A and B are shown apart, each in its own frame.
Chain A
Amino acid sequence: MTAKQFFKSTSFKCIATLLGVLLVCGIFLTIMNGLLEVTEEEKFQRVLSSIYGKNVTTSEQNISDKNTDLKAAKINNVYLVEDDGNYILNVTGKNAYQGNVICWVVVKPSADKKSVGGIGNVKVPSTGNDSQSFLNKISSSMFDRFAQDYKDGIIYSYGFDDSDQEGEMYVKTDASYTMRGVCNAVNGSIQFMNAFLSGGDIEEEDPYKEYAYHGLINMESTSWVKNGSEITYSIVTTGNAPAASFEITVTVDESKTVKAFEITKHGSTDGTAYGGLTIEQYNEIVDANVAKFIGKDADYFAGILGEDEKAATNAGFADNELTSGATKSTVLCLAAAAFATSNYELIINTLEYTSRIDMENTGWTVADGEITFTIKTLKNAPADPFEITVTVGADKTITALEITKHGSTDGTAYGGLTIDEYNAIVDANAAKLIGKGLDYFKAVLDDEGTNAGFADNELSSGATKSTVLCLSAAAFAVANYDYCLTHVGGGESNE
């Protein structure tokens, strides 16, 4: 085909037409993109208009020197609305459904502008909150309650707070987890703004402060099981750059020394890029070091780590027969061992699963290796406290469980069941707890007191709050068998 023939051919015509259409469309869209671009400022003004119903003037506040990453929320931006003196915060509420929820919260300062005086509108944009798939189930009147219910010192917990004794916060949102994130965002906003307006900063209390050597431990992922006088820890460490997190199983016996120490997941990373060792070489050193931990007590580990495990170096390695070369990883293992040994006394003497138990009105008696617990639970709104007698056998399973006083309340006013119907469900569920051990209760209760694990464990939903109380009582009895065997009593003498 000659060039002339090509230019006259259909192929050329097709290519030229397609390119022509593409070019014209491309130019058109380029021009339109320039003309119709929505700037960040415009997006922000839209959010403000959706909250205030009009455009307002704002000035961004400098929060770079403040603690903005709180336990419940992260404060992203704070703006002063110059028209009315309120503050509008862009906040990320933590622990929402499958992640976090981004909210806009209007905070009204008090008359002296030294603290928070109220909450204005709370908006949750659909953009950026893709994981909150039930967001549209929360009605606008639900968001209005934040402003209506505000009082000094309030902690919002609409729809999810099991420990809400008065039931003021108990509402049916149809999106409990998203609502939890939103409540966290508003609570975080109040906490932050109280500190911001008074000129101070937030110092969050360490919830694990009673545990020694937890600075390099991921406490939320770490757990332990008590077995007689032994404690087996499943420890997840934090990272200790360049080493990543380790997963370690440590067993400590009554001599408060390490009985077994096993690394189930190494965290050392490849160091060859900066003249270090390979992962396998690091692992060898670490494995050799941890083998020397057996039989060692808290003083041994404290002597190497010093007072601040985060600042620990290999200075004490040689004196204690440990090999250097994988210092960061070895420090993580030492921290895990130090945590396990130094907290033995605290953990072995602490009752577990007490969050839903009225400890002042709970007691137990021991007879022939069996313990009979007389348990009074707390309220789990809308369910009132239950009174339950639980017997645990020597094999640490439930041998008898009797509900002596039901706590279910009438739910017909909000589309629920009658008391009798609730009681029937709870009784049927309670009957299935006979013969069950701690693993069973862990599996059901670990989903934050919801009915998520009910079906898998042959329990019926429909009386979730009441069933959770029964499960909690049973879990309390089974988990604390060893402790209660040697600490006869209960009631007001409980610590």
Chain B
Amino acid sequence: MNKYKKITLDGLIFQNPTFMLVLGTCPTLGLINSAFSAMGMGLTVVVILTLSNLLISLLRKVIPNEVRIPCYIVIIATLVTFARMFLQKFLPDLYDSLGGFLALIVVNCIILGRAEAFANKHNVLESALDGVSQGLGFTAALTLMGVICEFLGKGSLFGYEIMSFKIAMLATPAGAFLVYGLCIAVFVYVIDGFERARRVKANKLARENMLTEVA
């Protein structure tokens, strides 16, 4: 498989930070009671993750190994602060809805984790692509759960009221935890099924090849 395709699919599906790696749980549980906030948080992380991966990859040969973590934190904190200023200036509604979780992106495991596990070892283009795909994977997961929680918990979607029936518990962090767990279960089940089918297909192909060679 083409390596860029692999990076993209890993970020979106096979190493999805939310469902497969279970990273960034704090903003996930705190924000998925609103689809708007969840998507806003996801897109903010896309930008910060892409830029941090890009910068860290660019500076990976300059930054000594001994101080790499403090340097990463400073770079990530700078990007988060910039994102806060930008949102406060141009997207105040989103800034208000994200509240304290925006500042907490500094310590989001996805960002520091990708910096350490990927950007530190790959070139700029691959790192940037990893940032985009991981970020979009995070965004898709958050938005999906945001839609579920907001629809069932508040009877609305992206702030627009849809129905009067609601299960208020699902709009709380406890409800979010329940939805999160169920989503992980479904996602892992589907990916497992997919992987199993792929393995069966590969084994069958290998057996056919072996039989052909024997014949």
Interface residues of A (CB under 8 A from B): 10, 13-14, 17-18, 21-22, 25, 28-29, 32-33, 36-38, 46, 126-127
Q: Say yes or no: A18-B89 contact (C-beta < 8 A), given A28-B82, A29-B78, A126-B96.
A: no
- Could you write out 29 A-B pairs with CB less than 8 Å apart? A10-B66, A13-B64, A14-B64, A14-B66, A14-B67, A17-B62, A17-B63, A17-B67, A17-B71, A18-B67, A18-B70, A21-B59, A21-B63, A21-B74, A21-B75, A25-B74, A28-B78, A28-B82, A29-B78, A29-B81, A32-B85, A33-B85, A36-B88, A37-B89, A38-B88, A38-B89, A46-B92, A126-B99, A127-B96
The distance in angstroms between the C-alpha atoms of A38 and B85, with both chains bound, is: 9
B175: shortest Cβ distance to chain A, in Å? 14
With a cutoff of 8 Å between Cβ atoms, the chain B residues found around residue A33 in the complex are: 85
Q: Which residues of A contact B67 (CB under 8 A)?
A: 14, 17-18
- Contact, CB under 8 Å: A10 / B85: no
Chain B interface mostly: helix
Question: In the assembled complex, how far is the CB of residue B119 from the closest CB belonging to chain A, in whole angstroms?
Answer: 15
CB distance from A318 to the nearest CB of B (A): 62
- B78-92, CB < 8 A from A: 78, 81-82, 85-86, 88-89, 92
Name the distance in Å between B191's Cβ and chain A's nearest Cβ: 35
- B86 CB contact (under 8 Å) in A22, A25, A36: A36
Set of chain A residues within 8 Å of B64, measured between Cβ atoms: 10, 13-14, 17
B85 contacts A25, C-beta separation under 8 Å: no
B residues within 8 Å of A by Cβ? 59, 62-64, 66-67, 70-71, 74-75, 77-78, 81-82, 85-86, 88-89, 92, 96, 99
Distance between Cα atoms of A37 and B86 in the complex (Å):
9
Cα A29 to Cα B96 with chains together (Å): 21
How many A-B residue contacts, CB cutoff 8 Å? 45
A106: shortest Cβ distance to chain B, in Å?
20
Whether B66 pairs with A22 at a CB distance below 8 angstroms is no
Contacts of B86 in A (CB 8 A): 36
Q: Which residues of A contact B81 (CB under 8 A)?
A: 29
Closest to A50 in B: B93
Q: With both chains docked as a complex, state the minimum distance between the C-beta of A413 and any C-beta of chain B, in angstroms.
A: 14
User: Which residues of the partner chain A approach B85 to less than 8 Å between Cβ atoms?
Assistant: 32-33, 36
* Least distance between B200 CB and chain A CB atoms (Å): 49
Question: CB-CB < 8 A to A13: which residues of B?
Answer: 64
* CB-CB nearest 10 A-B residue pairs: A25-B78, A36-B85, A36-B89, A14-B67, A14-B64, A21-B71, A21-B74, A13-B64, A14-B66, A18-B67
Nearest CB in chain A: distance from B151 CB, A: 16
Which B residues are in CB contact (< 8 Å) with A18? 67, 70-71, 74
Whole-angstrom distance between the Cβ of A199 and the nearest chain B Cβ: 38
Residues on A with C-beta less than 8 A from B70 are 18
Minimum C-beta distance from B153 to chain A (A): 12
C-alpha gap A33/B74 in the complex (Å) = 17
Given known A-B contacts A17-B62, A38-B89, A32 and B96 have beta carbons under 8 A apart? no
Give the residues in chain A near B66, CB-CB below 8 Å. 10, 14
In whole angstroms, what is the CA distance A36 to B86 when docked?
A: 7
CB of A137 to closest CB in B, whole Å: 9
Q: How far is the CA of A38 from the CA of B62 in the complex (A)?
A: 36
Set of chain A residues within 8 Å of B62, measured between Cβ atoms: 17
5 extra A-B contacts, CB within 8 A, seeds A22-B74, A32-B82, A36-B88? A17-B63, A18-B70, A21-B74, A25-B77, A36-B86
**How distant is the Cα of A17 from the Cα of B77 in the complex, in angstroms?**
17
CB distance from A477 to the nearest CB of B (A): 40
In the complex, which residues of chain B have a beta carbon less than 8 angstroms from the beta carbon of A37? 89
Q: Given the complex of chains A and B, what is the CA–CA distance between A33 and B89 in angstroms?
A: 10
Chain A residues with Cβ below 8 Å from B63 are: 17, 21
**A46: nearest chain-B partner, CB-CB:** B92
Minimum C-beta distance from A376 to chain B (A)? 38
Cα A271 to Cα B103 in complex, Å, equals 47
For B77, the chain A residues whose CB sits under 8 A away are 25
In the complex formed, the residue of A with least CB distance to B62 is A17
CA A13 to CA B71, docked complex, whole Å: 13
